[in-house]
Amino acid sequence: MSSQLSDPAANDAETVTISKRTRAMTAGAALSPGLALCAIGTAMAMGANHFLPTVSPLLFAIVFGALLTNLLRLPERFRPGLTFSSKKLLRVGVALLGLQLMLSDILGLGWGIIVVEVAIVCLGIVGTMFVGGLLGLSWTQRLLIACGFSICGAAAVAAVDGVVDADEEEVITAIALVVIFGTLMIPVIPLLSRAVGLSDIDAGLWAGGSIHEVAQVVAAGGAISGAALGVAAIVKLARVLMLAPVMAVLSVRQRKLAGSDNSVKRPPLIPLFVGGFGACVLLRSVGLLPTDLLSEAKIVQTALLTAAMFALGAGVHISTVKKVGTRPFVLATLSTVWVATISLTGVLLFG
């Protein structure tokens, strides 16, 4: 005991350990109110989804969060936990999304449809960025909408934000647009499919290639037929797979823009959550994970994304949505039509 008391190095190490433990406890206490609120919102959203399974719990969560923040004034103590959920928990959820993908299912679509999937994402992003520029929107706002509408909805918006660090107002606007327009597509695609005489399989291909969120695709595919639902889900997950290369390209671009300027934050070459997403895809594809574990992981992934959507919804203020004006809505409309047109063209050529 006396030797420890007389050893300055031991005393310093003990002081550092106590300091780290104190900071961790302080951070945990700061996050607790917001995390508890997100847990309640998640439970409500997933409970609502149990009674209305055709409506995604992510959609319920965004609506509940938005209603809460606009009907009540949330105390500032909730903000740290909400911010943590909207960023950290969401990225973990995006990474776990990879466990829903099997490369064999994607390859089973055939090279024609795979090329169409790549075209949907690439041309969707390029076209949306071009039109957004004509409308005078910022580069980050255009990019968030372009990736959200072309790849996989709110998860893609969050992934882009993790690389380019967009303004919170722009992120919230993009996610709100994904919810509004993706939900509108749920009845529109089945109705248009019947109107143009598409078979159930082709209608499922179109739904998977044009609708924004995975849950929205499932709802639309199920409204067509069981066969359409299966193919729609696979096609949509093929679009989700494009998330990794698109984020890698954006990350390289941001690093080049930063150059040697140490004052500018340089994102990693491959963001950690994107690497986690890729690793999860590989784990699922090689068949090493038991079915029970995959089922539990899907529940966890859904809960994490639901909590993140609730937190993002809690940042949606009606005054903010009004302030952004009509231009993002115009871009969202044109982007939806553009992506759906590319998808339908591909289905007619290769379906």
Q: What is the pLDDT of residues 80-105, one digit of tens each?
A: 999 898 888 878 887 888 888 788 88
- pTM value is 0.75
pLDDT value, residue 47: 94
pLDDT value, residue 268: 64
In a domain, 29, yes or no: no
Q: Which domain holds residue 285?
A: 101-304+319-350
199 close to 231: Cβ distance less than 8 angstroms: no
Please give the Cα distance from 326 to 136 (Å, whole number): 12
pLDDT value, residue 251: 86
Q: Measured between alpha carbons, how far is residue 235 from residues 30, 172, 277, 341, 351 in Å?
A: 42, 27, 18, 16, 12
In a domain, 311, yes or no: no
pLDDT value, residue 219: 78
pLDDT value, residue 175: 84
Positions of the chain with pLDDT lower than 50, given as ranges: 1
pLDDT value, residue 263: 52
In a domain, 92, yes or no: no
pLDDT value, residue 238: 86
pLDDT value, residue 12: 56
In a domain, 89, yes or no: no
Q: What is the DSSP string of 37-99?
A: HHHHHHHHHHHHHHH-TTS-HHHHHHHHHHHHHHHS---GGGHHHHHHIIIIIHHHHHHHGGG
pLDDT value, residue 149: 95
In a domain, 58, yes or no: no
pLDDT value, residue 216: 81
In a domain, 149, yes or no: yes
In a domain, 7, yes or no: no
Side chain identity at residue 132, one-letter code: G
Structural domain total, the chain: 1
In a domain, 42, yes or no: no
Please give the Cα distance from 346 to 329 (Å, whole number): 26
